[in-house]
């Protein structure tokens, strides 16, 4: 296993924050995590884990389960998630589509250029 890359970028839309994607390279596949760290500490962060079926440089992954995290990165318990929903906080559903292209040039530290 070796670190294939780490990508860090700001995002904005219905929420704003920092997205982090870590990808590890194995003999016959890639695996990693993607985390959306929300700028609003009152809102949960979202994490998905993924594993590809091959080492193709372009991957399409669907219906990845989302894990909700607190500001410290701890998994939220069901009661915390239910309290957020009662307060009309909309939580992400399983990710519909993740698109990964490993062809983007990287500097030596693995960050996307």
Q: What is the DSSP string of 25-91?
A: E-SS-EEEEEEEEESSTTSPEEEEEEE-SS--SEEEE--BPEEEE-TTSPBPPHHHHHHHHHTTPPP
pLDDT per residue rounded down to tens, the chain (113 residues): 666 788 899 999 888 999 999 999 999 999 999 999 999 998 999 999 999 999 988 888 888 888 999 999 999 988 888 888 888 887 777 665 556 665 554 443 444 43
Strands 58-61 and 45-51, bridge-based pairing: unpaired
Query: What's this model's pTM, rounded to 2 decimal places?
Result: 0.76
């Amino acid at each position: 296993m070796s670190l294939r890359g780490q990508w860090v970028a700001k995002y904005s839309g219905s929420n704003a924050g920092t997205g982090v994607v870590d990808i590890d390279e194995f003999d016959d596949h890639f695996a990693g995590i993607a985390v959306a760290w929300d700028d609003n500490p009152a809102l949960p962060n979202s994490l998905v884990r993924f594993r590809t079926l091959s080492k193709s440089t372009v991957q399409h992954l669907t219906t990845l389960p989302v894990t909700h995290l607190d500001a410290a990165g701890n998994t939220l318990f069901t009661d915390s998630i239910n309290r957020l929903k009662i307060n009309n906080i909309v939580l992400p559903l399983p990710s519909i589509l993740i698109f990964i292209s490993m062809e983007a040039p990287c500097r030596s530290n693995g960050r996307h250029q």
